[in-house]
Amino acid sequence: MPKKTASKHPAKPRKHDVLAEHARWLEQAEAIANAPLNAGGSPHPSVKVGAVLIDAKGKKIAAAANRFARGVDRRRPERYRNGAKSLWINCAEQMALAEALRKRAKVEGATMYVTLEPCAVCAGLIAEVGVRQVCVPVGALRRYAKLKSKWKDSIEIGLIKLAEAGVQVTAVDKP
């Protein structure tokens, strides 16, 4: 019987496998958002967002939640009042990209998994660094019932920015 040799070109993953892979990374994004604060989870009282960045070869290069920047005191209560949260807490997408850049990871062609569609600022940053795809759960916006209208408007603009920049946005139906 002749020996089988490995092909130079691995078989393309079946669509089902790709969707399962998307769901797996989104679960990790959700886990980081809801992790305890001392494990990098989000300090936001109602809008906990997580992001996982996967390089073009499918390797995880960064993960983060929306949180205060390193060294900034999250324990000061005035930073959570009267609309101040959005001025103090950085988006999960920003934090994941910062982590990847600190590691000098290649983000060009990467895929970002986020538990909520990116806001206008993050969408611009995602496009600028060359992320090729953003995956979010189907109905992500509905899951964040306490999201203010200014953020809903920002997400709408963010989706337009991503589309115009050629960044593919994929809504993933999680099991």
- pTM assigned to the model: 0.87
Question: d(Cα 83, Cα 1) in Å, to the nearest integer?
Answer: 72
Helix (H, G, I), strand (E, B) or coil at 51: strand
Distance of CA 78 to the CA centre of its chain: 27
Q: Whole-angstrom Cα distance, residue 131 to residue 174? A: 22
Cβ atoms 32, 63 nearer than 8 A: yes
Per 3-state DSSP, what percentage of the chain is helix, strand, and coil (rounded to 5)?
40, 15, 45
Return the axis-axis angle of helices 92-102 and 120-129, rounded to nearest 10°: 30
SS3 of 136, please?
strand
User: For the chain, what is the radius of gyration of the CA atoms?
Assistant: 18
pLDDT of the chain along its 175 residues, tens only?
A: 444 444 455 555 555 588 899 999 999 999 999 999 999 999 988 899 999 999 999 999 999 999 999 999 999 999 988 888 889 999 999 999 999 999 999 999 999 999 999 999 999 999 999 999 999 999 988 888 788 899 999 999 999 999 999 999 999 987 6
